[in-house]
Copies of this chain bind each other. A is one copy, B any other.
Amino acid sequence: MSLTIIGTVAFDSVKTPYGEVDKVIGGAATFAGWAASYLYQHIQLVSIIGNDWPEAEMKKMTSRGIDVSGIEIVKGGKSFYWKGEYDKNMIDRTTLATDLNVLDDFDPKLPEHYKKSEYLMLGNLTPEIQQQVIGQMTKKPKLIVMDTMNFWIDIARDALIDTIRKVDVLSINDEEARLLSGEYNLLRAADRILEYGLQYLIIKKGEHGALLFSKDDMFFAPALPLAEITDPTGAGDSFAGGMMGYLASQGDVSFEHMKMSLIYGAAMGSFCVEDYSIKKLQSLTPEMIKTRVKDLIELSKINIEA
């Protein structure tokens, strides 16, 4: 049993109205891998980096049991770099730089022992790369979850829909759901998107929580209101990591377990934003996670009869 996560391993520079950091550890697979690592032990990353990405950080992942043999290191290459600035609402952001660097030539080759992973998380990459990874699996995974972004909906719609048809779960935000479906209303958007043959659809609403849809069911996972948000970068990826880590640990993808996976996702996302980069994610304890998950369940729990 294993969980394979494909996505960026990168550097971020982040500015908020309250502070800034320059060229810190970032990347979807980094956040997702760290978040998942508290919930499940057999995590395998697929990515590409330059040899500018700190070896010490690779070692920290390895020492947590994260398999990094699927991360290609390009000698003399530079790692993917993103720079952005957040609005005072800590949601809206302006991208100031996106340097693809080695990511421009990313042609993922899964190590042999990755190819039978039961759980596969396809981070936001080109639909072609996502499909290429699916194509390398020698055994049909129990659950394939994919992320994407408005950019691919705009410029590679057909390839994207083709990829969606090959996965079990699509995880997108509300604006992407609207863009993809052409429906403003999220319930109708969900109906449309599920028609691509998805088992589940997750619509993330940031600080407003996340919705889970199957053909017959709907669930809403609240986000925990936080007094301090230091850096929202990576929250969605931490959400995905928490979700996948929980599911892989349970070996059960029923609707009830999917619901709980969103709670674990929300918990890991809420930790992520409490500090810059992966700092908070690197300093969690099982007790902290247990308490956060309990707080999230309690947040909307009714204890008396209607």
Contact = CB atoms under 8 A, between A and B. Distances in A.
A256 B222 contact: no
A220 B299 contact: yes
B300 A222 contact: yes
Contacts of A297: 302, 306
Nearest to A295: B218
Identical chains in the assembly: 2
Interface residues of A, number: 37
Nearest to A228: B185
B300 A219 contact: yes
Interface stretch (A26-34, A42-50, A75-83, A205-213): A205-213
Contacts of A211: 225
Contacts of A222: 209, 220, 222, 300
Contacts of A229: 185
Given A185-B227, A185-B229, A260-B306, 11 more contacts: A88-B184, A185-B226, A188-B227, A205-B208, A220-B222, A220-B225, A220-B300, A263-B306, A290-B306, A297-B302, A300-B301
Interface of A: 88-89, 184-188, 205, 208-209, 211, 218-222, 225-229, 256-257, 259-260, 263, 290, 293-294, 297, 299-304, 306
